[in-house]
Chain A
Amino acid sequence: MKASSPGLARSLDQTFSLAWRSLVQLRRNPWELGDYSFQPVLFLLLFVYIFGGAIAGSTDEYLTFMLPGIVVMNMMFVTVYIGHGLNTDLTRGYFDRLRAMPVARWAPLAGRILADLVKQAWSIVLLLGLGFLLGFRLETSVFGLLAMCVLVLVFALAFSWVMILVGILARDPEHVQIFGFTALFPVTFVSNVFVPIETLPVWLQGIVSANPVSVLTDACRGLLLGGPVWSPILISLIWSLAFAALFIPLSLMALRKRLGH
């Protein structure tokens, strides 16, 4: 609806308050926090110590290979929660409460996205921290490490809009989760996260190297371990732009429709 809106300072304040809300929620839901923390840690440990020897010849080498990939994979899964949270607000009427208040129209979404970035940053730090404890060696520089974190967050910001759309379209929060995880498993596994592309059947190699998850993983490996980075970084950013350009308008349209305008 057309309306004058609160000033920018007030709108930002509202965004921060709503982001605070999403983060405080975590305290009451250790299960969700577990998904950002224990699950990726478990994945990392299992893959490194169970498959590491078989895949890479040694657990140390496999840790080096896999850590950047598991950061990317985990980022993808964490985006499901933005859709889940948004859908909960829509189905339980909380979104309506916010819309009936003098709150900036974009603040509820912006608050969620902001909180989501904090959660993303938390899991990146956690995974990298654990990686370093287990013996991961940074072979580039702190600058490379920071660039990698920023790149993953930029990609997360763009890819979140896919899950925002799912969150708007789904009937209830459970469906968001089921759809999100079911779709993300093949997308993240059919990639170079766990194994080098060369080991795959030729027909699969094309798909895997086109997968944005592989491209982003390549960029992260390059930024942490050295090697060519500019091309995968550029392609990752193009993917991010494409996700944003397609899914932001689709999400806003779907939201308008769902809210019954």
Chain B
Amino acid sequence: MATPETAAPERPAEERELAGINADYKEKFGFHDPESGYAYKAPKGLSREVVENISAYKDEPEWMREFRLKALEHFLERPTPQWGGNLNQIDWDDIHYFVRASEKNTQSWDEVPEDIKNTFDRLGIPEAERKFLAGVGAQYESEVVYHQVREDLEKQGVIFLDMDSGLREHEDIVREYWATVIPPNDNKLAALNSAVWSGGSFVYVPKGVKVEMPLQAYFRINTENMGQFERTLIIAEEGADVHYIEGCTAPVYSTDSLHSAVVEIIAKPGARIRYTTVQNWSQNVYNLVTKRAVAHEDATMEWVDCNLGSKLTMKYPSIYLLGERAHGEILSIAFAGQGQHQDAGGKIIHAAPKTTSSIFSKSISKDAGRTSYRGLLEVAKGAVEAKSKVVCDALLLDEHSRSDTYPTIRIGEDDVDVGHEATVSKIGEEQIFYLQSHGLDEEEASKMIVNGFIEPITKELPMEYAVEMNRLIELQMEGSIG
């Protein structure tokens, strides 16, 4: 670190590099490709015909077609939620519900259409695969265009497919678990996803198999006014271990797009699943996602949920601790800048004795951005000796930003140990002054404080993602002073 005496007038190399990264979202992630070669683009709006066409187009079994149509009824019957963020601006009739960019899903990078390949090259996906991933899936618009899993894992029986292929090739497993964690009429957005879902990942890890390196899926929206509705199902059999990572970006448009995923996870006895999200949608995307996991006896489920992008995110990953000694953890970071509302949090339900859990939420608001923590901790009757700790910290970077905390705690048992802490703080002038006295300028000092604030969560990310996360935060922080 430079001292005031030795600080050079020119910006140090590291900072110059950061300034380059900060070019802006539009250049790095916000570009878009032409749609000229697209295989199919459904007309705007949602109807029985659109849903039937999606199902027919995918040549699905009859039970899935019926499932979709029933879900559509639930969607149409339910009112738009009036809590959380403002969803009234979404025009459900002004969305393309299904867009197929490529005719096929390939295992060969060379066969991916040129434009799409260039997009993922720019986003660094093939490079990441070569370096540190056990498998990767790349979804572009409604469908997965590239999928690959390491051969040694396949030999051990690990299945990592896009959801459409999962349904085709492993219909029996899919049907057994499908919608058992999130039924179609759980909520309006889950109903919508159930009606028009496309893509997503299907992961099955057999008993005792430990997948050492992460599996990754990358989701990209390209079309304007598009809805992406991926559906992910992860099953870890007894004693299995897997880490799944997802990332997402979209072009910057003046009109809004919608991303509404459903993620269902089943951790069998003794299994361990970690699900990491680095959400960096452009600021014209509504991100309305339902994620839920069940953890059976001695299983561990962890959500690491980082929300940086989108116009509005409403997402509360939940864990049902159904078996004795099951453990659940939710680590959540939310960053809201100008025009953004991050309504995030988590839910943990202790439904069995000796279950343990923790929720750590960190949120940062700047430039009139809004973050909300919305959480539920429930201990059911009979879940004796349950232990849980909920900590939610909010950091406000200026006077115009807003942070709200909506914690709900329901305890139905006496013999439990539950703690809840919440703090809201501003970056103090004293902290800035202290760091400036060590040679940092005001912006660097703020970045350092913010990075220190979220460090307990970023340290849980794989190194490559922690670095990316810090860079993204720095990108968001740029120009936040003065």
Partners in one complex: no
